[in-house]
């Protein structure tokens, strides 16, 4: 059993009707007795008397066009008229305006269409929703926070591009906390590799637990070359709205200078395990102590699903 709209063949050979049919007959036999190249799956378009004023489109839904297994057809397909046809009338496999109309309608299908056999939710226009996008217009901000995050999505996506005013480092970490919790309720694992002088250092791994946040994003600082050298990445917070489990965060971030050796990359896994489990309703991103975010730094929060 197939679910394809229609089937086609490039090798179908024109044939004829073996016997006359009325305008209501539903069985068609090819005059050759062994039609060649016609589709073996159904439905396909079978035209009777093409290029004449008596033409009719039918849909073959079963059979092989032989005397033993004639085609079973649906008459008057795609707006044509059911007509009587004489023995010897030409028949041919073809396409029709309906094929193109169906395709055109498919192109413009919107939410809830169920096309491709997927549920309507797969075509929803709100698969990824902007909760907030903030671009800093100053260099005096050291914390960016989002509060009142609705529990209407499946997951959260956080994207950052930033540079620190910190003067003592090439790169440093932006600390992430959930729901304003700065207690020792976080743990993390970091895989990293750096190249600050022409030689690769790492890959290396580091773990931390009972910390006051997750070092989610590695970005450039003042010693990271020209002010245009920023850094950042993205972090995924799955199933943030549930209250049964501790929350997890998976982040990719780093910074680099395209014209020198300075490259710093970090892959992180972070976990928040508060005294009482709760849905995530707020997220804060904090610069290292004594540092701010440089003007133009961008922080984005999206709801997914």
270 and 217 housed in the same domain: yes
In which band, very low, low, confident or very high, does the pLDDT at 126 lie, cut at 50, 70 and 90? low
The answer, yes or no, to whether residue 12 has pLDDT greater than 50, is yes
Question: What's the rounded mean pLDDT across residues 75-82?
Answer: 94
The answer to whether residue 112 sits within a structural domain is no
Question: What's the rounded mean pLDDT across residues 250-274?
Answer: 92
Which of 83, 100, 117 marks a domain boundary? 100
151 and 241 housed in the same domain: yes
Residue 16: its pLDDT value, please?
97
The answer, yes or no, to whether residue 305 has pLDDT greater than 50, is yes
60 and 202 housed in the same domain: no
Which of 100, 117, 151 marks a domain boundary? 100
How far is the C-alpha of 234 from the C-alpha of 124, rounded, in Å?
A: 23
Question: What's the rounded mean pLDDT across residues 129-145?
Answer: 95
Residue 122: its pLDDT value, please?
57
Helix (H, G, I), strand (E, B) or coil at 279: coil
280 and 192 housed in the same domain: yes
Residues 237 and 158: beta-carbon distance below 8 Å: yes
In which band, very low, low, confident or very high, does the pLDDT at 109 lie, cut at 50, 70 and 90? low
The pTM assigned to this predicted structure is 0.61
* Count of the separate structural domains present in the chain: 2
pLDDT digits (tens, 9 = 90+) for 218-243: 999 988 888 888 999 999 999 999 99
Tokens 């090798």, residue located: 11
pLDDT digits (tens, 9 = 90+) for 156-182: 999 999 999 999 888 999 999 999 999
What residue numbers bound the domain in which 224 lies? 128-304
Residue 102: its pLDDT value, please?
77
How far is the C-alpha of 15 from the C-alpha of 296, rounded, in Å?
A: 71
Residue 224: its pLDDT value, please?
80
Of all residues in the chain, what percent carry a pLDDT higher than 90?
A: 78
Question: What's the rounded mean pLDDT across residues 68-83?
Answer: 96
Question: What's the rounded mean pLDDT across residues 79-106?
Answer: 90
Residue 134 sits in a domain whose CATH number is: 2.60.120
Which of 80, 100, 120 marks a domain boundary? 100
279 and 139 housed in the same domain: yes
The answer, yes or no, to whether residue 32 has pLDDT greater than 60, is yes
How far is the C-alpha of 60 from the C-alpha of 262, rounded, in Å?
A: 67
Sheet holding 247-256, edge to edge: 128-135, 298-304, 155-162, 231-238, 247-256, 263-272, 186-195, 200-211
The mean of the pLDDT values for the chain is 91
How far is the C-alpha of 302 from the C-alpha of 125, rounded, in Å?
A: 14
Residue 1: its pLDDT value, please?
42
How far is the C-alpha of 231 from the C-alpha of 246, rounded, in Å?
A: 28
Question: What's the rounded mean pLDDT across residues 254-271?
Answer: 90
Residue 258: its pLDDT value, please?
80
């Amino acid at each position: 059993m197939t679910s394809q709209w229609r089937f086609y063949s490039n090798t179908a050979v024109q044939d004829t009707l073996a016997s006359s049919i009325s305008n209501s007959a539903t069985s068609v036999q090819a005059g050759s007795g062994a039609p060649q190249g016609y589709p073996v799956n159904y439905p396909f378009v079978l035209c009777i008397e093409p290029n004449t004023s008596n033409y009719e489109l039918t849909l073959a839904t079963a059979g092989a066009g032989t005397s033993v297994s004639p085609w079973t057809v649906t008459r008057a397909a795609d707006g044509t008229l059911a007509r009587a046809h004489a023995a010897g009338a030409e028949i041919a496999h073809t396409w029709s305006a309906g094929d193109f109309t169906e395709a055109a309608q498919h192109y413009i299908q919107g939410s809830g269409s169920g096309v491709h056999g997927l549920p309507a939710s797969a075509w929803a226009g709100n698969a990824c929703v902007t909760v907030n996008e903030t671009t800093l217009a100053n260099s005096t901000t050291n914390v960016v926070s989002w509060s009142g995050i609705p529990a209407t999505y499946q997951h959260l996506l956080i994207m950052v591009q930033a540079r620190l005013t910190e003067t003592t480092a090439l790169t440093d970490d932006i600390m992430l906390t959930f729901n304003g919790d700065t207690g020792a309720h976080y743990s993390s694992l970091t895989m990293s590799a750096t190249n600050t002088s022409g030689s690769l250092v790492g890959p290396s791994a580091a773990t931390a637990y009972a910390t006051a946040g997750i070092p989610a994003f590695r970005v450039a600082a003042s010693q990271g070359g020209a002010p245009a050298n920023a850094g950042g990445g993205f972090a995924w917070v799955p199933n943030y709205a549930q209250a049964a489990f501790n929350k997890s965060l998976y982040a990719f971030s780093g910074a680099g200078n395209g014209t020198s050796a300075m490259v710093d990359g970090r892959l992180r896994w972070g976990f928040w395990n508060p005294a009482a489990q709760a849905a995530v309703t707020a997220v804060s991103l904090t610069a290292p102590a004594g540092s701010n975010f440089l003007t133009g730094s961008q922080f984005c929060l999206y709801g997914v699903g």
